[in-house]
Amino acid sequence: MSTIERTEKPIPLRLKVMHYVRLAISIVARFFFGLYYGKEGQKIPPIVDDILKQPAVDVARKIRNKEITSVEVLEACIRRIKDVNSVLNCFVEDRFELAMKEAKEADELVRSGIKSTEILEQEKPFLGVPFTTKDCIAVKGLHHTAGVVLRKDYIAKEDAESIRLLREKGAIIIGLTNVPELCMWWETHNHIHGRTNNPYNTTRIVGGSSGGEGCMQAAAGSIFGIGSDIGGSIRMPAFFNGIFGHKPSRCVVSNAGQYPIPDTELLNSFLGLGPMTRHAVDLKPLLKILSGENSSKLNLDEPVDVTKLKVYYQFSNNAPLLDPVDPDIVAAMKYVVGYLNVKFQIKAQEKKIAKLQKSTAIWMSTMKNKKKFGEYIMENSTVASITLEIFKNIFGLSGNTLIGLVTALLDYTGSEFGSDKYNHFLKARDDLEKYFKDMLGDDGVFLYPTHPTPAPYHNEPLLKAMNFTYTAIINCLGLPATTIPLGLGREGLPIGIQVIANHNNDRLCLAVAEELDKVCGGWVEPHKS
C-alpha cells in the first residue's frame, strides 16, 4: 500500500477535543442561526425570458441564424438583473450602454451577410452573447476593487487577458459581480458592496470568492460567467448555487488582469480563471477560448470515451476541524458511482487517501507569501494596527471585514515563507501530487466532495472555517476540477460533487460533467413552481 494511502498517525487528543468542541458549538449555533434567519428568506421572481434558460452555445447559434438578436438577449439579461438584484445583491457595476452598442454592432454584422454563419461560428463563436465576471478580473473602464475599500476608486485601464479573448470571439461583457474582501473568504461580503444572498434561500451564503458570479448564473442574469479560483473560488460558489464551474489545469489560462496577482510562480500555479455556466455543454468551448495559445495542450477536441475511464472516489477526507460530509452529498456520489456502473460498466474504486487529511495544513502553508495579507487591505499593516482595526470593526468603524482582519492577523502565525516547516509541507504537496498523477494517468477521474455541506447561513462559515479545504488541496496539486450540480438536497439547497483529472486532462472532467448533466438534471431554476 502507498504511504500516501497508509493510515496516518493517530489524531492527537487535543485535536480530537477541539474537533468535537467545535462541532458541538456549531450545532448549537446552527439552531440559533435558524431562529434568527427563519427558513427561506425572500424569493426571487421566476424567469420569464426563455432564452435565459438556454445554453450559451445555443444562444450564439440563434443569434448567428437570425432567430433572435443580440439586442433582445441583452435586454432579457438587463431585465433579469433588475428583477433580482435588489434581493440578491450579486451585480455591482454595469456597462449596459456600451454593451448595447456592441450588441447592435453584432446584429448588424449578422444582417450584413458579409460573413457566412459558418465563418462567424469559426471566427466569433460567441458573437453577441452577454456575459459577466467578478470584480477582481479587470474590465476596461469599470472598477477593479477585489472588494478592498482602499481600491474603491480604482478603474481598470485594460481588459484582463481572459476578457480580451472572449470579446475577441464576439462575447459582450455587461458588468461585474460581487466578491469577498481581497477574494480570500468563502462568503461573499465586503464593505464596498455589502453581502450577496443565495437565490435558493436568501438566508444562505453564495460562497466565495466568485460568489456574486455563482449567484448571477444561478439566477440567470447573464448567459455565462467567468470566475477565478485559488482555493475553490469557482467550485464552491458553483456548488452552493447549483451550477457548473471549472478550474482549469495549472497555468493554461492567463491570470493577467486578475487582482491580486500571485507573487511567486508556485502561487500563480494555484490560481486559475475558468467558466461558470448553467449548462455543462458550454464549459468546453469557453475553456478553449480562455486557454488561448495553451489550448493545444488540453486536446479539447479529442473525443472522450466514457466507457474507458477509470473512476476513483472518496466520500470524505476525515480530517479534524471539518464538518462531516452531508448524507445528501454522500447519497448523490453513490448514485453517480452506481449510474456509471450500470450505464458504462465502470467499476469505480473507492479510495481512502489518508494524506488528504493534511489538506488544510498543506494549502495554508504553501499559500504563504513574502508579502503579508494585511498589506493588501490596509495602509499600515502590523499586528498592533490589525488588532486595533478589529476593535474598530466591532463598532462598525472599520473599512475592512472582520474575516479579512482575522486572516491578516493569522498570517503572522504558522510557517514562514521558506522555513523548514514551509518546505516540509511543500514536500507533502509534491508527494500527494505524484500520487494523483500516478493514480489518474491519462484515463482516470477522481470523484470527491466539493464541500462537506450545502450552503450554510450567513456568517456561519466563521464556525466552519476549514471546510473549504476539499477544493483548496486541488489548487495546490494544479489539477483540473469541475463542480457538477446533482439536484437539490432535503433543505431545498443545491448539492453536487467535483470531478478531478490529471494535468491537462480537463476534457475528461468536462465529458463526465456533460454526461451527468443529462442524467441528473443539472441546474435547477430557483423557486420554480
Round to whole Å and give the CA distance between 42 and 30: 20
| Residue 498 vs residue 528, higher pLDDT | 498
Q: How many helices (H) and strands (E) does the chain have?
A: 19, 13
Pairing mode, strands 224-229 and 130-134: parallel
Q: How far is CA 233 from CA 37, 180, 184, 322, in A?
A: 25, 10, 9, 18
Round to whole Å and give the CA distance between 98 and 141: 10
- pLDDT class of 168 with cuts at 50, 70, 90: very high
Name the DSSP letter for residue 452. S
Decide if 251 contacts 271 (C-beta within 8 A): no
Catalytic residues: 134, 209, 233
Least confident of 9-23, 155-169, 372-386, 503-517: 9-23
Instruction: For residues 429-456, give the mean pLDDT.
Output: 98
3-class secondary-structure state, position 122: helix
Q: Over 60: is that where the pLDDT of 379 sits?
A: yes
State the residue for C-alpha cell 456520489: 333
Q: Residue 191 is placed in which grid cell?
A: 464593505
Residue 94 CB-density burial (10 A; 0-12 exposed, 13-18 middle, 19+ buried): middle
Supply the pLDDT for residue 415: 84
Round to whole Å and give the CA distance between 484 and 519: 12
Supply the pLDDT for residue 4: 67
Decide if 386 contacts 376 (C-beta within 8 A): no
Pairing mode, strands 349-350 and 310-313: parallel
Supply the pLDDT for residue 5: 67
Supply the pLDDT for residue 461: 97
Residue type, 271: L
Average pLDDT, the chain: 96
Q: Over 90: is that where the pLDDT of 19 sits?
A: no
Rounded to 10°, the helix 56-64/70-88 angle is 150
Q: Residue 422 is placed in which grid cell?
A: 514551509
Supply the pLDDT for residue 222: 98
3-class secondary-structure state, position 101: helix
Residue type, 341: N
Strands (E), 129-214: 130-134, 172-177, 189-190, 194-195
Supply the pLDDT for residue 263: 87
Task: Give the rounded percent of residues in the chain with a pLDDT score beyond 90.
Answer: 91
Q: What angle do CA 8, 12, 18 make, to 5 degrees?
A: 120
Q: Residue 443 is placed in which grid cell?
A: 484515463
Q: How far is CA 48 from CA 55, 71, 220, 525, in A?
A: 16, 17, 10, 11
Q: Residue 24 is placed in which grid cell?
A: 458541538
Beta-ladder partners of 132: 175, 225
Q: Residue 156 is placed in which grid cell?
A: 481598470
Q: Over 60: is that where the pLDDT of 25 sits?
A: yes
- Which residues have a Cβ under 8 Å from the Cβ of 111 and sit 6 or more positions away? 66
Decide if 78 contacts 220 (C-beta within 8 A): no
Q: Residue 472 is placed in which grid cell?
A: 483548496
Q: Over 90: is that where the pLDDT of 434 sits?
A: yes
- Which residues have a Cβ under 8 Å from the Cβ of 132 and sit 6 or more positions away? 91, 173, 174, 175, 176, 177, 213, 216, 221, 222, 225, 226
Q: Over 70: is that where the pLDDT of 16 sits?
A: yes
Q: Over 80: is that where the pLDDT of 482 sits?
A: yes
Q: Over 80: is that where the pLDDT of 279 sits?
A: yes
- pLDDT class of 284 with cuts at 50, 70, 90: very high
Decide if 196 contacts 240 (C-beta within 8 A): no
Supply the pLDDT for residue 502: 98
Round to whole Å and give the CA distance between 303 and 317: 32
Supply the pLDDT for residue 369: 85
State the residue for C-alpha cell 454592432: 105
- Which residues have a Cβ under 8 Å from the Cβ of 107 and sit 6 or more positions away? 63, 69, 70, 71, 128
Strands (E), 384-478: 444-448
Instruction: For residues 271-276, give the mean pLDDT.
Output: 98
CATH H-level, domain 14-292+306-368+414-520: superfamily: Amidase signature (AS) domain (3.90.1300.10)
Q: Over 80: is that where the pLDDT of 503 sits?
A: yes
Q: Which of 156, 393, 368, 413 is nearest to 266 (CA)?
A: 368
Decide if 204 contacts 455 (C-beta within 8 A): yes
Round to whole Å and give the CA distance between 175 and 99: 9
Instruction: For residues 301-322, give the mean pLDDT.
Output: 96
Instruction: For residues 118-137, give the mean pLDDT.
Output: 98
